[in-house]
Amino acid sequence: MSDKTRVLVIGAGMSGILAGLKLTQRAGVEFLIYEKADAVGGTWKYNRYPGLSCDVPAHAYTYSFEPNPDWSAVYAPGAEIRRYFESIVERYDLKPFIRLNSEVTRCEWRSGQWHLTFADGRVDHGDVVIAASGVLHHPNIPAIPGLDDFAGSTFHSTDWDDSAKVDDARVGVIGCGSTGVQIVSALSTRARSLVHFCRTPQWIMPIRQREYSQQEKASFRADPELIDAIRYGDKYQGVLRRFEAAVTNPDSPQMAEIEQIVRENLETSVRDEALREKLRPNYRAACKRLIFSGEYYEAVQRPGVFVETGAIEVVEPRGVRMRDGSFHALDTLVLATGFAVDRFIRPTRVTGENGVTLDDIWSRHPTAYFAVSVPGFPNFFMLNGPSGPVGNFSLIDVAETQWRYIEQLLDVLAGGKAQSIAVTRQAFDAYEQWRVTEARKTVFATGCSSWYLDDQGVPNTWPKGLPEFREAMSKPVLQDYEIKAGVLSR
C-alpha cells in the first residue's frame, strides 16, 4: 500500500501535459495521464486543417519554463505547435505516465476515492482527479437539412479529411470564426472556386505574419532574454492590458481604439464597396472573439472566392441551396461551425458526493469556482474548466496560473493530512453571483451571439483581466473550501 497521493489526470493536451510534468517534480504523489486519443497534443493533435496556426505570438504561446527559440514564425503553424508538445513529453520523460486510447466513461467518488471506468471496461482509482479535457473539443455539427445527403465530402474542421477534393475543386466553408477564416485564407489560392458561408461577418484585427530568420533563431538560442522581451516586454503586454481594459469596459478609450483599428482595416483592405458592406459586422468589435488575420480580406478578394452572407436553406447532393433560391455547386463542404462548448469533460459521467452528477450541477450551464472546483466534487480539479478566462491570449498562461493554485490544494492533502477538499456551496454561489454580475458588464455581453455566452446570454467567462486572475488565484482562500480530515483511504 502506497502512502502517496494518487492523482489521475484526464487528457493529454496542453493542460494535461502541464499537470503531468509538474507532478513528476512533486514529492509524495504518483500519477497517470489518461488520454482517449491515440496521441498526445489535444486540440493540436485533432486540428490539422489547412491554414491552422495560433494567433497568439508563438513566443507567448509556450510554457513559461520551456521557451522555444526555434519557432519558425511569429505565429506558429499548428503542426509545429503539436511537435512542441510532443517534444515536451519526451523531454520530461512523460511517456511512461501516459495511457493512450483510454477513454474515461465514468468517474465516481465513492468511499473517499475517485473510481474511473474506461470504455474498454478497465477501471482505476485515485485520490485526486485533474480534468484537463479541453474546452473546444466536441464538434458542433449544425442541424442543416440535407447535410447527410451531400454527395461530395463533408466534415468538421477538427476532423479534416485528407482524401477530400480541395485543390482545383469547388469548396464551401461554413463558419467564419477563427477556424473558418484560417481555412478560407489557406484555400483561397488552392480551390478552383471557394464559397465562404458567413452568416455573421466578423471584425478582423490585422496582424503581420512573418518567418523568423536563421539569424534570429540563433539569437533566441544564444540569449533567452530576447524571447522574454517578446513575451513579457511592454509591446505584447501593452496589447494584452489594452485588450483587457477594452473587454471589461466597452466604453473605454481602449475599446474605441480597437474599434477604430478593425474599422480602418475593413475600409482600407476591401476595395469593392458591395463586398465591404457584406463583410461589415453589425455588433461591437471583440463581442465575439476577435479574428486576428492578415490574410482574410485579401483571400476573399481573390478571383473565384465568394462570400455568402445569406441563409442556407438546405444542403442538396450537389451543393448548397440558399433561402433566396440561389445555388452553390460544391465538391467539398467544410463545417467550420465551432464546438459544443458546454460539454467539458462530459459525456464522461462524473458523479460526486451523494450521487450528484456534473449533469445535475451544470443543468443550466457549466461553471466552477475560479473555473477549478465544484461543490460536492471533492479532490476534483479542472484546468481550463468552465467560466475561466477566454480571449485573444494564451490559454497556457491560464493553465499555469490554475496549476499553481491546484498545487496548493494538493498541499492540503499531502501526506494524508486531509482526505478531501472541495469548494463549499456557499463560496461557489457567492463567487458565481459576483462573476455573473461582472461578466454582464463586459463587451462579450453587448449584443452578439458567441460561444462565450451561456444559455441565458451571459458570458460564461472570467470577467476581469489576466493580472486580476493571477492575483485572485495566487493563494486559495481555504475558508471557501470544505476540508475533510482523515487518512486517504486506499
| Residue number, nearest CB to ligand NAP | 177
Compute the least distance from the CB of residue 128 to ligand NAP, in Å.
Answer: 28
CA count, 13 A, side-chain hemisphere, 11:
28
In a 3-state reduction of DSSP, which class is residue 107?
A: strand
Decide: residue 485, CB within 10 A, 0-12 exposed, 13-18 middle, 19+ buried: exposed
User: Which is nearer to ligand NAP, 136 or 488 (by Cβ)?
Assistant: 136
CA gap 388, 11 in Å, rounded: 18
CA gap 311, 309 in Å, rounded: 7
User: Which is nearer to ligand NAP, 62 or 337 (by Cβ)?
Assistant: 337
Compute the least distance from the CB of residue 154 to ligand NAP, in Å.
Answer: 13
User: Which is nearer to ligand NAP, 117 or 178 (by Cβ)?
Assistant: 178
User: Which is nearer to ligand NAP, 219 or 392 (by Cβ)?
Assistant: 392
Compute the least distance from the CB of residue 50 to ligand NAP, in Å.
Answer: 13
Binding site for ligand NAP (CB under 6 A): 54-56, 136, 142, 144, 174-180, 182, 197, 199-200, 289, 312, 336-338, 449, 451
User: Which is nearer to ligand NAP, 199 or 302 (by Cβ)?
Assistant: 199
CA gap 383, 394 in Å, rounded: 14
Long-range Cβ pairs for the range 324-328 (8 Å, 24+) = 328/170, 328/172, 328/195
DSSP-assigned letters across all residues of 227-272: HHHHHHSHHHHHHHHHHHHHHH-TTSHHHHHHHHHHHHHHHHH--S
User: Which is nearer to ligand NAP, 373 or 442 (by Cβ)?
Assistant: 442
Compute the least distance from the CB of residue 173 to ligand NAP, in Å.
Answer: 10
User: Which is nearer to ligand NAP, 91 or 199 (by Cβ)?
Assistant: 199
DSSP state of 154: E
Compute the least distance from the CB of residue 391 to ligand NAP, in Å.
Answer: 8
Compute the least distance from the CB of residue 403 to ligand NAP, in Å.
Answer: 20
Compute the least distance from the CB of residue 75 to ligand NAP, in Å.
Answer: 8
Assign residue 211 a region: left if phi > 0, alpha if psi is -120 to 50, beta otherwise?
A: beta
Name the grid cell of 69.
527559440
The neighbour count for residue 234, using CB atoms within 10 Å, is: 9
User: Which is nearer to ligand NAP, 182 or 419 (by Cβ)?
Assistant: 182
Residue pair 236/57 in contact (Cβ under 8 Å)? The answer is yes
- How, if at all, do strands 319-322 and 327-329 pair? antiparallel
Compute the least distance from the CB of residue 4 to ligand NAP, in Å.
Answer: 37
